[in-house]
Amino acid sequence: MVTIQAEKLIDFVTEVFVRADSSEAEARRIASYLTTSNLTGHDSHGVIRVPVYIRWKKDGAVIPNQSIAMVVDTPALAVVDGRFGYGQTVAPEAVQIGIDKCKASGLSAVALRNSGHIGRVGDWAEMAAAAGLVSIHFVNAAGSILVAPFGGVERRLSTAPFCVGIPREGQLPIVLDFATSIVAEGKVLVASRGGKKLPAGALIAADGTLSEDPAQLYGPCTPGGPRIHENGTGAIRAFGEQKGSGLALICELLGGALTGTGATGPNRRFANGMFAIYVDPKQIDPEHFFDGDVARYVKYFKDTKPAAGSTEVLIPGDPEARSRAERTANGVPLPDDTWTAIVTTARELGVSERAVQTATA
């Protein structure tokens, strides 16, 4: 395991993306969002993605230094095209449009189409919450066929994330953010590179056998080699049986079909679509009931006798806040295989050995 201080990790990853033709501002933005995912404990959406992003850039699947194009613009609704730019650039642009429209009218919706990988969706819920807004996000990944629907063994869904953010007065927001599969694809990636093992039965083989072996998704894996999900014959399973499978379908239809990205399917260019709804509590709640009742109910929710094996009841966002505090203080832990893959990518782009040594010093 290698442990790297967050600022050093951001600096190193910034140099990688500068070498891959991103502007300094975009490179640092990508590096900051990826590192923030690691800080919050979501290693699946963190710097482990660096080799994948660079491979996509080389293949032309993602284009550096893009900006959104407005397709539909009304007082309460926008449809924006990310033009296959990095999600860490085009997603915050789309979210800011939603925030601005919501502040003006109390309610807004934004459909983002054709975005590069938008990373941890919780980042965008946190951005809206910082502006005092409730937000709901339905996301799909066109071309990323990874998940078998309930009752099936063949891939038909992306991991189809769903996210809700709720601001709280004087406290961190409540952010519910999850893939509608048992695990996100990135967690399979982490497991394949020496990280946390997958839960029992997270994957399903072509013959219907349950599995925890990342090779089901990627095919045979070498320590430093690429992870290409088209090489696998198995699938990730939808969580919660028919409930998770049904929610995944809704994310495909709203995040994909409704945005214009398209629901996932074979022979498609990778793109995230996100349909997001924003609500201003200050305009829907002129009597200021919301904040007080959120505080009351969260206390009531958590104030229960813990079940066996638990020390307390947590709400969405609690584990992330604790991880962020611990890793900000002590550094971001990365499995050796993960760091090796990142460094290999950096060297291929011409990043110096001195930069590698500085990151780990």
Q: Could you tell me the two tokens for 38?
A: 């690691």
Average pLDDT, the chain: 96
- CA separation for the pair 343, 70 (Å, rounded): 37
pLDDT of 135 = 98
Q: Does position 152 have pLDDT exceeding 80, yes or no? A: yes
List, in order, residues 6 or more apart from 199 with CB less than 8 Å away: 182, 183, 212
Q: How far apart are CA 275 and CA 283, in angstroms?
A: 22
Say yes or no to pLDDT of 13 above 80.
Answer: yes
| pTM (predicted TM-score) | 0.93
The pLDDT of residue 224 is above 80: no
Q: What is the mean pLDDT of residues 228-240?
A: 92
Contact 210, 204 (CB under 8 A): yes
First to last CA, the chain: 14
Q: Write phi, then psi, for 129 (nearest 5 degrees).
A: -65, -35
Determine the Cα–Cα distance for residues 173 and 185; give it in Å rounded to an integer: 26
DSSP class of 257? I
Amino acid, res. 258: L
Which residues lie below 8 Å from residue 352, measured CB to CB, with a gap of 6+? none
pLDDT at position 227 is: 87
pLDDT value at position 74? 98
pLDDT recorded at residue 195: 85
pLDDT tens digits along 64-85: 999 999 999 999 999 999 999 9
Residue 250, classed as helix, strand or coil, is helix
pLDDT band (50, 70, 90) for residue 288: very high
For residue 355, the model assigns a pLDDT of: 96
* Strand spans (E) along the chain: 2-4, 69-73, 77-81, 107-115, 134-142, 147-148, 162-168, 171-178, 203-204, 210-211, 235-237, 271-279, 332-334
Torsional sign, CA 175, 328, 170, 100? negative
- Provide mean pLDDT across the span 304-329: 95
Cβ(165)–Cβ(125) under 8 Å? Answer: yes
The pLDDT score that the predictor gives to residue 225 is 82
Tens of pLDDT, residue by residue over 87-143, are 999 999 999 999 999 999 999 999 999 999 999 999 999 999 999 999 999 999 999
Q: Which helix (H) or strand (E) holds 282?
A: helix 281-284
Q: Which helix (H) or strand (E) holds 57?
A: helix 50-59
Which amino acid belongs to residue 216? Q
What structural domains and CATH numbers belong to the chain?
Answer: 2-62+331-360 (1.10.1530.10), 69-181+238-284 (3.30.1370.60), 195-236 (no CATH)
Q: Which residues have C-beta within 8 Å of that of residue 39, sequence separation ≥ 6?
A: 6, 323, 324, 327, 328, 332
What is the reported pLDDT for 230? 85
Provide, rounded to the nearest whole percent, the portion of the chain with pLDDT above 90.
Answer: 92
Q: Supply 310's token pair.
A: 């638990």
